[in-house]
Amino acid sequence: MSEIEIAPDDPRAADVRALLEQHLEFANEHSPPEDVHALDIEGLLGPAITFFSCRSDDQLLAVGALKQLDDNHVEVKSMHTTRAARGRGIGRAMVEHLIDVARDRGFARISLETGSMAAFAPARALYASMGFEPCEPFGDYRASPNSVCMTLTLEPRSVVTPSHRRWSREYLRRALP
């Protein structure tokens, strides 16, 4: 795999739209309707959303977004890695990028909601390995046996890094658990 690039993107792009459709299908397949919190394309175009894609040689590998909840708190939304890219550290690189962007923008906390079902276990394990801890529901979420909320307190960084980053194959090898 050559170098990957994570950068802002348009959720209306054809390949991104197709991956987001898979993301929504996955959420609807594994969660009851009242606990599907994935955003559709229109939701990802909102002013509180910053949407990113991860690509290598122009091939889409993953998507992820940040939703500003308030001046100190941001939420991870629409994290999804293509089937072909799973297990290669791409999801980890995207989450690290989202954490870096949130920290660089001065947020004190980054949180997420994911499913409690077995299908979501790899996502929960990834988030936990990156320091996210279970928390009470936040924002508009309510307690549900089908949801797990997680949060990470962000410590200020003494040196600001750019929100537009590139990762090499070497980084991905080191990022894998």
Cα separation, 142 vs 153, in Å, equals: 21
**114 φ/ψ angles, rounded to the nearest 5 degrees:** -145, 175
Of residues 11 and 162, more confidence is placed in: 11
Looking at the domain assignment, is residue 100 inside a domain?
A: yes
Domains contained in the chain, number: 1
Q: Is residue 173 part of a domain?
A: no
pLDDT at 36: 87
**φ and ψ at 6, to 5 degrees?**
-110, 125
Structure confidence at residue 158 as a pLDDT band (50, 70, 90): low
Q: What is the DSSP letter of 152?
A: E
The CATH number covering residue 142 comes to: 3.40.630.30
What range does the domain containing 157 cover? Answer: 4-165
Q: Give the number of other CB atoms < 10 A from CB of residue 111.
A: 21
| 172 belongs to a structural domain | no
Please report whether residue 143 resides in a domain: yes
Confidence check: pLDDT of 160 > 70: no
pLDDT digits (tens, 9 = 90+) for 110-120: 999 999 999 99
pLDDT of residue 136: 97
For residue range 21-78, what is the model confidence (pLDDT) as tens digits?
988 887 878 888 788 888 899 999 999 999 999 999 999 999 999 999 999 999 999 9
Sheet holding 49-56, edge to edge: 133-135, 147-153, 109-115, 73-81, 59-68, 49-56, 4-8, 165-167
**Exposure string for 121-160, b = 16+ CB within 10 A, e = fewer:** eebbebbeeeebeeeeebeeeeebeebbbbbbebeeeeee
Residue 171 located in a structural domain: no
> What confidence tens digit (pLDDT) does each residue in 141-151 have?
999 999 999 99
Residue 170 lies in a domain: no
Indicate whether 110 belongs to any domain. Answer: yes
Judge whether 124 lies within some domain: yes
Question: Which residues, including other chains, have CB under 8 Å from residue 57's CB and lie 6 or more apart?
Answer: 2
